[in-house]
Structure 1
């Protein structure tokens, strides 16, 4: 099925009901990968473009309709957008999943040639720094989850535990050494120096359970997920989750200094989903607050302050991120009753919403093998890359939004 790439504008007018206006000119999604292989990048909080804007990172697989096994590899490659999107394989990994790939990204210390990604080596998960020009590699003793903007540090977690607790986010192939413990005191979030490989546990699961505990935390399994540094690398954000009786999970959102100190609970009203840092202190997140329900909130770190973003306009959870200039929010939706996902932009300054595409989501791709759009910005903020399976193959697409974001 072909994508539907009409552009809509949705406005809030002086507190009245929102209206939707269809515009004549609209951007079109262009595939930058093609078969016979399947291609995707992964999560929404990383940029696939190198510093020049010419090369994009991606993953290639031979299948898309089942979870990866320990024996399945994904090929890491470069997309040369100046040479008819030529695919150039450069490495392989055995530590990957459909939702977040292999944590593949360019290192800001040399964003024109150095990349980092995760892999499995014998009895451990590791990360690899590779020079895409020379092929030189350097291995680090732990996989990475979030990497600081200066490319010097990483915070990470137990991907074997995550594989058990949140299928589609961890990696197959290794046992969780703390599987029998609900909240181990020797496992949790780890800090790692990307230059020396020095690493240590900085926040344990047992430690986080002791902070503002409640009865639902007793006798159930706990884990961490979704780590992200703020804009100046002075703090990082993480989610603490624990099992619900119905099989789902409760979530709290925390922040901490990179060494694990000064832990602060930002929100603990049962649910926090996707998020992004607005700046060094403010966090945009789809979350629940008992007094108003589920909304996009702009939280302030280490302060009991929050405001609703996009009331009546941004009404569902999505993979949200700020544009490089912080003027726009990019997000998406989960499939509606017609199995369509929307890709949209929102400008907080005036409440302007622009829907830049709707894409079919095959019903056979559900649960951990689903293909979320996971939209991510180019470095200059004028293009958006996303993953989609609307043409019966998992591929990467790019939309030019330069004209949209330039409108007054």
Structure 2
């Protein structure tokens, strides 16, 4: 966002025949260098595609000179190069093979980690991922295209469309991959408040936007009911609340209070579903339930786990947690470190108990925890044990 905001300032000055403000140039390259440290080349790709598209649309390559790339070399030298040298030395060069060859290039060449999808997949899920802004998305795109002679509309189109097309062509797809385009799309929707832009919107596009909004609303309603059911809990309250909020949003928009209806619609996924409903679904947060049971039982020693190795355990219980794959390993470690509780997945339970018995010990179950493994969706059945050296 910072890089694109600075790029807009530079582009606007360039279109007006003025010299780009020095602060905007510095901000652009500092933001690019910081973005490389955080997320690799994505921000460079967003801005690079924007500049190339604007240069082609304007038939003017001088925008690149307005960016003063020498300052880019300076800031990358100061901020990025030291990190590059450090990571190369720390990994003995393996980082580049893993990050570039095995991750970046693999995602570009084929669907990675079972996330492959054909071109157009991002477009198909927009009623859900860009809801409720999808109501204005089709009218806004058409209005911006018809107003593309204006610098703001042209810049937003150059920001959103090329990046979206590239990610539609890349085989690996996840919904968040098109996030860099969302600010541009939302700004296009905001331009709909301009009378000069809104006047260029055909009536049929508003109906299409309304249909997409309705489809997204139905999907969010289904999701609001399905998630509690999937987590093994009641879906009645989430469904009633979601349906009520959608009903009020429709009522507002039907009475020409479109922006109020959109604001309420935005609160549905952001506040109600993600902010309130999901955190209260205990079945989706098994690691949190483990931490609660340990506190209730007064078990303060570092936990040993067998079969349940979710990283979230470390966030809830600390780095002293020992995560093991097999039940027999957990049993032996529990005897070597008396007093440590053991959390055992149902698939490792038989090996864990058999090993304890063979070693002359036993385990007392103190809590049973069920939930969903979000990564994969499998049911988890965990048992928390207190290990004793006396056979029962």
TM (norm. structure 1) is 0.21
Higher strand share: 1
Q: Which has the larger radius of gyration?
A: 2
